[in-house]
Amino acid sequence: MPEATRAYSTLIQCLYDQSHSVVPDYDHYSIFRAIDARDVKQQPTSLPRVHDFAVIWDSDHDIRIIPVLEEMLMAGLLPGVQFIGEHKGTLTIILAAPTYFAVDIEAFKAQVHSLTAAAGDYWDVRVGMFDRSPGSMRDGHQCEFEGITGLADHMLHAYLLVIDDMWKLGTKVWQGVSSPEKAQPPRQFFTDADRYVVKGHSHHYARQPVVPASPGVPPSWPPGLMPPFAHPTAARAP
């Protein structure tokens, strides 16, 4: 039976958790989700936004970063944070490039520094940026990682890029069951999913076809969705 994901906070949800390094010489990470009515440039929005980001842990997995994250959320400073990690008294924050150029970085650093008191300490604060556009991914344009891990720059770039791509980090619009469907471009039958839209469960299931139960499909599996190990015509031996 799989272990439940650790609950670090009542304000911020942990979506995925690595409690220790799984590859030698690499740090480990956890993915968190927060809700805030601000966009990626930390400007107020009429409706709440979903914000997914990664905490990069070093070997001691210092959970004192959690109350600092809660303080940042309540102060409106969390949107735009892609990666954040603490190492030996230094808090390193990697902002999305649009956030980095939209906010006053020195004021942001000063505010976050004051909030690190929530950890029972005062940490130095470094701020870098991350740009996932194709040109930047290739040559590192608008990518400043401020040594958030001990990896060489090119390896660190690859490491963060993989995490970002797997979890689609960033600030996203919620698409609930009452939200209108996005119009399909003319003569285009397939489109890439918008990584900055989060669809609600009811919105998703309301549009799933209902099919009869098949052999090998768990009873709790959502209707119409086939798990990778099952085939609709495959029967298991008694």
pLDDT tens-digit profile of 67-94? 999 999 999 999 999 999 998 899 999 9
Question: Where residue 139 falls among pLDDT bands split at 50, 70, 90?
Answer: low
- For 80: left if phi > 0, alpha if psi spans -120 to 50, otherwise beta; the answer is left
Residue 27 has pLDDT above 70, yes or no: yes
Question: Where residue 21 falls among pLDDT bands split at 50, 70, 90?
Answer: confident
What are the residues whose beta carbons fall under 8 Å from the beta carbon of 211, sequence distance 6 or more?
Answer: 223, 224, 232
Burial of 188 (0-12, 13-18, 19+ CB in 10 A): exposed
Percent of the chain with pLDDT over 70: 70
Mean pLDDT of the chain: 80
203 or 108: which carries more pLDDT confidence?
108
Residue 203 has pLDDT above 60, yes or no: no
Residue 234 has pLDDT above 80, yes or no: no
Residue 221 has pLDDT above 50, yes or no: no
How high is the pLDDT of residue 228?
Answer: 44
52 or 133: which carries more pLDDT confidence?
52
What are the residues whose beta carbons fall under 8 Å from the beta carbon of 81, sequence distance 6 or more?
Answer: 51, 53, 72, 93, 94, 95, 96, 99
| pTM for the predicted model, two decimal places | 0.76
The Cα–Cα gap between 44 and 46 comes to: 7
Q: Which of 52-61, 176-185, 206-215 is predicted most confidently? A: 52-61
156 or 221: which carries more pLDDT confidence?
156
217 or 88: which carries more pLDDT confidence?
88
238 or 169: which carries more pLDDT confidence?
169
